[in-house]
Structure 1
Amino acid sequence: MQTNRLCYGLGSSEGTTSIYDLPPELLLIIFDHLYRDSRSGDNQDCFSITTNSQPPSFWFPYALAAVCDEWRALLALNSGYWTRICVCIDEPSWDISTLAEEIQWSKELPIDLSVVASRNVNAVISPDVESARVVSIMRILPSFAHRCTALRFDLRALPVLPLLSGTAAPSVKTLELGCQASRMGNLDPSIMIPFSCPKLETLILGGPNVIIACRSGWLASLMATNWTLYNYSPPNNEREAIEEADTILHALSTIREDSSLTIREMNLDCSASTNTPYSIHVETLILEDLSAQTVACLLRNIDFSGGGIESIRLSRCGLPELASLSSCSLTLQEMPEDQDISEFLRCWNGSHVAVVACPGFTDTSIKMLSQPFFYSLVSIFEVIECFNVSVDAVKCFVKAWSDAQYQDPALDYEEEETKTLVLSRAETDTKAGIDAVWFDGIPLIYHIQ
């Protein structure tokens, strides 16, 4: 524990006042302010181990508790400070007694527990040490699992899901099980005993935890509606890779229809599978950092019947050739420059499309969309931060889009139908800068963001 006396000059040059001269009442006021700030809406991302870039030692109250023994003792008096408990599993001095002490300080309040391995290559511990420390946590977890509203694990090489087998966590709403290793050999499909969390709303699975959960059939028992799978790599053997893709798709077909499903940094190949595609029903689908092959594998198994799903977002993905794609809303974000966005949109059936920060979306792309198939479907068209599309090309598109409503009866437009264009190219754009007078004369709602 750090006990160095930090002194600051506070006014007079005749002496210094130590920070330790502050009365406990004033320190508690400062701590309360920092506590509220750490729980504010602007800082909610820090609760997720998948989005927080800062090490746990920077999180409240750990940064303060590390200053000195006096501060740590004062922080220990407020049980509310310890409702979010973090374990950095590869700290050299960490011991299970530290966690037990912090659990005691939380009294009987709900707990958000994070167990993480540092991504600092200089902080590596052996797999055996990591395993031993995690096992020690699992031994005491049943004593406070009933108070956990969130459990988050992000380990270096250990899939934690099997270690949770048979545990009951009746209050858990968020479960994050990450692993920095994307794959481990010799995974036993029978090692998973159901982990009970009847109130689960958000499930995030990474690395080997993905295939372990899918093999076990455990996902079918969950009522979660917010799903994320990431950082999975298939085996090198082609037959085994196809079998695992089949297992994952089957598991996804069991999730609730009102769910949001995010898949990122995964590699699936079901192109050689002879099985009938699975029917995956979701309300929102988000695909990030995937190959065209993986995107095709997933989209071929999405159920687009009954008008399709509510929304699809593809970010930094390869775009496959598809026969059809149905969703009310489609967003293409940060797509690689070599991807043919306009051709991909030809297979899409929906009313709201957004193209965001795509350098490959050019004047040629928007010209290719100046066709009846696009005009007849799209009510809202957003072009955001696509700097290779000129205003002149947009004006040509808008003129044709507007004229189509009144000049082509085959499109069967209703008189009251409203078309909306949202164009945002840079912070310096203004209506005057892109000829707002011309746009205002067109019967469309036009926005500059």
Structure 2
Amino acid sequence: MNTQGSVVHAPAGFLSSSSKGQTSHDEKHRFVGVRDPRKIRILQFHPDLGHPRRTNNRVLPPELLLLIFEHVYADNMLNEEWIPCNSQSRTQFPFAPAAVCQAWRDVLASVPRFWTRIIINLDTTKLSHVDIYLHLSRNLVFEIIVTRDQRIVSQSRTNDDEGARAAAVMARIIPHLRRCKSLCFQLVRSSSLPALRHLNICAPLLERLKLQCGIDDGEHPLVSSEVPEQWRFDAPALRYLFLNGRNFRDACALHWVELLASLEDLCVSRYSGGKHPTGELHLHDVLLVVDRLHRRFERLQMLTLQDISFDGTLVQQDGYDIQIEAMSMQSIDFSTVRTIFASKNGPAPHLVHIKHELAPSLYHIRLTQADTLVLEGPFMRMAEAINIWDGNCLSIKNSSTFNDRTIRDIYRSWNPDKLTSPSWSRLYIENCTEFSADALLELIDARGVAVQRARDRDPTSQAPINSLRGLKVHGGPPISPKDTEAFKEKLPQMEWHEAATGTRH
């Protein structure tokens, strides 16, 4: 884009004739070009960052500042997309440099591209600044994140006005939704999130919609038990949909999700269960939507279920053909997990990820055929679940129960009569420190013996008999140079990163 020819129109209340923000009537309707950015005066952009500092920046001409900011902008982009960021960070571009001084803000405001990712913090961002940010992006496609300041949230003991502030921000976003590419709300309570049934609008460019919360405390105040008679939220380009449980329940009632022809990633989270006047959320609802999406469009690749207590887990007896690449179940009751796989009659997902904060038993969850199995968190009877799984890559994350005993239980319970047991050839371990290198070396040796025994028993067998060939440990226990050499002799691929020292082997 040629920034030399860009023009920004300053709305009323946007320009200031002094550092105190006093605005003259004549300046309110002035057009400002990039060649003379010093004519524009902008309000303090990011209250998070305090008052502008006094700096000696007048020696830098606007053209040089613009060149510097272009480089910073480029560092935040990848393939013409904003790189994912931490919305809590105080160093976000362009908000952080805009808080340095008026001259910097003037130059930044002259380039609409800089303002195509907007981060709204309900605890610190003024409503008037929301209007400014939306104006600065001109007619360009933009993405917006609405969030909370976690430091303020953690210190607050009262039920603040999160819902009212979120509604006020959403009211300002709605007129610009036609050019919005990504809309993300990351709030504390479900009742504060925008209600899906009130997004009665066309959003032709919207690719990502996130309505997520930390706790499920009930409905949005405007949600009633009656489904709207005339409702049309048109988002034909939507690829990533992340909804809290109540909004997803509404999406099912409105038969909306199953019409999203471009949908690739679906996440349903935060639902506390129980009887509700506005309806219930059943496991049947989720699996039915996934099944229909697959049959109609064959685009859905990822399904995530997180922190949901379904009102009912009964499913149709004939099962569901949930043919997707990846499935992630996080903090889900294990009877629900078993039901999902028991009801499945199609091929297994390529990747299955199970995460839990507690230590439930993995027993009797048959995860056969999935190529990659990711187990995250503490689990009881982990070895039994691993040994009835027939995939290729095993990944263990953040698990205090992955220890020497678990490792030994894995290889001691291998079935000597099953030639391909186990078939996995890659092991990834992340942020686990309760095991030892000795136990892993024993597992590798035991696997070698099992493979050789299987080959000796049936030399003509065409069945795949895999040795353990790849080991990657990140955030693991210390390892001696002797053990390092032993791993490298036994495995074609080996990486080891120690959690305590940061040493890599």
Cα pair distance change 1:228/1:128, threshold 3 Å:
closer
Cα pair distance change 1:82/1:265, threshold 3 Å:
same
Matched, 1:118 2:149: yes
Cα pair distance change 1:422/1:69, threshold 3 Å:
same
Q: TM-score, normalised by structure 2?
A: 0.71
Matched, 1:232 2:271: yes
Matched, 1:329 2:364: no
Aligned with 1:436 (options 467, 486, 490): 486
Counterpart of 1:402, as a letter, is V
| Post-superposition offset of 1:184 | 1.0
* Distance across 2 between alignment mates of 1:224 and 1:24: 44
Identity of aligned residues (%): 22
For the aligned residue pairs, the C-alpha RMSD in angstroms reads 3.5
Aligned with 1:44 (options 57, 62, 83): 83
Counterpart of 1:182, as a letter, is D
Does structure 2 retain, via aligned residues, the 8 Å contact 1:313–1:332? yes
- Deviation string 1:56-97 (CA, Å, 9 cap, x unpaired) is x54211222233443322211011101112222343x622x4
Equivalent position of 1:401 in the other structure: 450
Counterpart of 1:364, as a letter, is R
Counterpart of 1:401, as a letter, is A
Cα pair distance change 1:279/1:424, threshold 3 Å:
closer
Cα pair distance change 1:437/1:172, threshold 3 Å:
closer
Q: TM-score, normalised by structure 1?
A: 0.79
Superposed, 1:130-209 pairs within 5 Å as: 130=165, 132-138=167-173, 141-142=174-175, 144-156=176-188, 157-162=191-196, 164-185=198-219, 188=225, 190-191=227-228, 193-206=231-244, 208-209=246-247
| Post-superposition offset of 1:173 | 1.4
| Post-superposition offset of 1:225 | 0.8
Could you list the runs of 5+ residues in structure 1 that have no partner in the other structure?
8-17, 47-51
Counterpart of 1:252, as a letter, is V
Counterpart of 2:454, as a letter, is Q
Equivalent position of 2:414 in the other structure: 370
Cα pair distance change 1:415/1:432, threshold 3 Å:
farther
* Distance across 2 between alignment mates of 1:65 and 1:353: 46
Cα pair distance change 1:415/1:436, threshold 3 Å:
farther
Could you list the runs of 5+ residues in structure 2 that have no partner in the other structure?
1-43, 45-49, 496-505
Q: Counterpart of 2:369 in 1: which secondary structure?
A: strand
Cα pair distance change 1:77/1:334, threshold 3 Å:
same
Equivalent position of 1:388 in the other structure: 435
Q: Counterpart of 1:177 in 2: which secondary structure?
A: strand
Equivalent position of 2:10 in the other structure: none
* Distance across 2 between alignment mates of 1:34 and 1:148: 23
* Distance across 1 between alignment mates of 2:209 and 2:440: 46
Does structure 2 retain, via aligned residues, the 8 Å contact 1:219–1:254? no
Equivalent position of 2:23 in the other structure: none
* Distance across 2 between alignment mates of 1:229 and 1:105: 33
Matched, 1:102 2:133: yes
Q: Counterpart of 2:332 in 1: which secondary structure?
A: coil
Matched, 1:129 2:176: no
Does structure 2 retain, via aligned residues, the 8 Å contact 1:177–1:206? yes
- Deviation string 1:294-334 (CA, Å, 9 cap, x unpaired) is 42243334x343x4222212233644443633333232333
* Distance across 2 between alignment mates of 1:437 and 1:82: 50
* Distance across 1 between alignment mates of 2:315 and 2:258: 24
| Post-superposition offset of 1:188 | 3.1
Q: Counterpart of 1:349 in 2: which secondary structure?
A: coil
| Post-superposition offset of 1:136 | 2.4
Does structure 2 retain, via aligned residues, the 8 Å contact 1:183–1:234? no
| Post-superposition offset of 1:43 | 7.7
Counterpart of 2:447, as a letter, is V
Matched residue count: 416
Matched, 1:6 2:41: no
Aligned with 1:315 (options 355, 364, 368): 355
